[in-house]
């Protein structure tokens, strides 16, 4: 009889432990979602470079791209695609996700225009990513011109920022 009660007690404790772990895991996943805000700014002469930026914010299911709102133009899309002319003349373009996301993938390519790029007009682009209003990532990218100025190869940046 004593063994039967011990077995029931052990089973109950095990059941409680595993159900608690499951709830804790679900809570951790729920806590790793946030509204994303991205600020894209640049310095230097935007006409001296070819800049192409695209990004995807992945929703809670980690399977679908979230809707992104361009706060400057009001346009919405699942994966904004920006080139030089799309960057705001006030040098700051801001986006936000319409729903909570798990992470953001950023893809940026920079390439100098051979006869235009000079040291005086160095172009750099800064990307700041916020999750629920807290700065999560802040990086500045530029094309490192080869000493003789003959390089035509674009420089690609591809990275991921996750909700912590």
Q: Is the same domain home to 24 and 43?
A: no
- What number of other Cβ atoms are within 10 A of residue 49's Cβ? 25
- Which pTM was predicted? 0.74
Q: Is the same domain home to 76 and 129?
A: yes
Q: Is the same domain home to 27 and 40?
A: no
Residue 12 sits at φ, ψ, to 5 deg, of -65, -45
- What number of other Cβ atoms are within 10 A of residue 61's Cβ? 7
- What number of other Cβ atoms are within 10 A of residue 156's Cβ? 12
Mean pLDDT calculated for residue range 39-54? 85
Any idea what the CATH number is for the domain that residue 124 is in? 2.60.60.60
Q: Is the same domain home to 67 and 113?
A: yes
Mean pLDDT calculated for residue range 39-44? 90
**Per-residue tokens: 78:** 């699942």
Q: Is the same domain home to 70 and 26?
A: no
What sign has the CA pseudo-torsion 111, 131, 67, 102? positive
Q: Is the same domain home to 43 and 7?
A: no
Q: Is the same domain home to 103 and 23?
A: no
- Alpha-carbon distance 68 to 58, whole Å? 10
Structural domain containing residue 18: 1-31
- Alpha-carbon distance 137 to 129, whole Å? 5
Q: What is the pLDDT of residues 52-94, one digit of tens each?
A: 899 989 987 667 889 999 998 899 998 888 888 887 677 899 9
Q: What is the pLDDT of residues 113-149, one digit of tens each?
A: 765 545 556 788 999 999 999 999 999 988 765 445 5
Task: Determine the pLDDT at residue 35.
Answer: 95
Q: Is the same domain home to 101 and 155?
A: yes
Q: Is the same domain home to 75 and 118?
A: yes
Q: Is the same domain home to 19 and 75?
A: no
- Give how many domains the chain has, as a whole number: 2
């Amino acid at each position: 009889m004593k063994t039967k009660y011990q077995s029931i007690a052990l089973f109950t404790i095990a059941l409680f432990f595993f159900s608690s772990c499951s709830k804790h895991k679900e809570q951790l996943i729920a806590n790793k979602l946030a509204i994303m805000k991205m600020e894209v700014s640049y310095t230097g002469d935007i006409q001296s470079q070819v800049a192409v930026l695209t990004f995807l914010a992945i929703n809670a299911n980690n399977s679908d791209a979230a809707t992104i709102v361009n706060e400057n133009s009001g346009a919405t899309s699942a994966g904004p695609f920006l080139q030089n002319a799309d960057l705001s003349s006030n040098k700051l373009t801001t986006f936000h996700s319409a729903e909570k996301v798990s992470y953001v993938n950023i893809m940026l390519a920079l390439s100098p225009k051979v006869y235009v790029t000079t040291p005086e007009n160095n172009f750099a682009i800064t990307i700041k990513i916020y999750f629920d209003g807290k700065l999560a990532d802040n990086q500045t990218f530029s094309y490192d011109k080869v000493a003789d100025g003959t390089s035509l190869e674009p420089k690609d940046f591809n990275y991921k920022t996750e909700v912590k």
